[in-house]
Structure 1
């Protein structure tokens, strides 16, 4: 089976830190794969909040995650602080990709590369809508 590869960006516009909680650790004694996706979600919420957005209100539009990919590179353990750097890219008419670089804050060792695809969505009409131009302008100014 072919391995997933995520071409990570060179520049990140936002960074946040999330500690590995005991509930994030699996039976193998390290950060579980489900916890990584939860951390990515928390980081996305913090990123949007930094720009005064929510997943339900980005210039009046909501967002929906269309796909996700995670490549695991190293273990994380209870008590580690995970630094998550975020960048957006690959904009199309209806959405973009969000890239997440997860690293151990203390050692700098990369724990995972992740990407989520999002599209913008009108929850009242239940349909995909174009990327809000103001959002795109704000994000591209930061890149």
Structure 2
């Protein structure tokens, strides 16, 4: 079976968000469900960009949309496990903003790793735009660049 391979760019971490597995995040196998992982990633990403003063609905004047998402699962998590979601953002290229997430358990072991590609959209022209310099500066500051 071919699997997606994702390398988490640790040097590009901009935020860490603690949370716990909720009972509503569980599936019939009694572990963290894949759809709940997507929800937890969205929460962590929103928190990360809010901490950068660039909320996802106003990133330099443009809202973001998810263009693609890949997730690999490494371990199970169960209610009420304490987790941390790390968010890393490499330097933007062109019109794409790639965001990586890594969910860690209390032993600092990866539960899941994800890659999300965001596009910022000019809602009038209905087209993607280049990543605004203010977002690039905020990312650089968060990474200590």
Same fold flag (TM > 0.5): yes
1:74-133 Cα offsets, whole Å, 9 max, x none, are 0000011110011101521112210111011x2222101111001111123321111101
- Structure 2 counterpart of 1:5: 5
Name the structure 1 match of 2:133: 133
Q: Residues of 2 paired with 1:134 and 1:20: CA distance? A: 34
Paired residues of 2:21 and 2:32 also in contact (CA < 8 A) = yes
Could you tell me how far apart the structure 1 residues matched to 2:96 and 2:110 are? 27
| Aligned residue number for residue 109 of structure 2 | 109
Task: Point out where structure 1 has 5 or more consecutive residues left out of the alignment.
Answer: none
Q: 5 Å matches for 1:1-143?
A: 1-11=1-11, 12-89=13-90, 91-104=92-105, 106-143=106-143
Q: Secondary structure at the match of 1:119?
A: strand
Instruction: State the TM-score, normalized to the length of structure 2.
Output: 0.92
Cα distance between partner residues in 2 of 1:99 and 1:138? 17
Partner Cα separation in structure 2 for residue 47 and residue 8 of structure 1: 16
Q: Quick check: 61-70 or 81-90, which moved more?
A: 81-90
Q: What is the alpha-carbon root mean square deviation over aligned residues?
A: 1.2
Q: Deviations over 1:13-51 (max 9, x none)?
A: 210111111110000000000011100000011011102
Q: How many residues align?
A: 142
Deviating more after overlay: 73-82 vs 47-56: 47-56
Q: Secondary structure at the match of 1:134?
A: helix
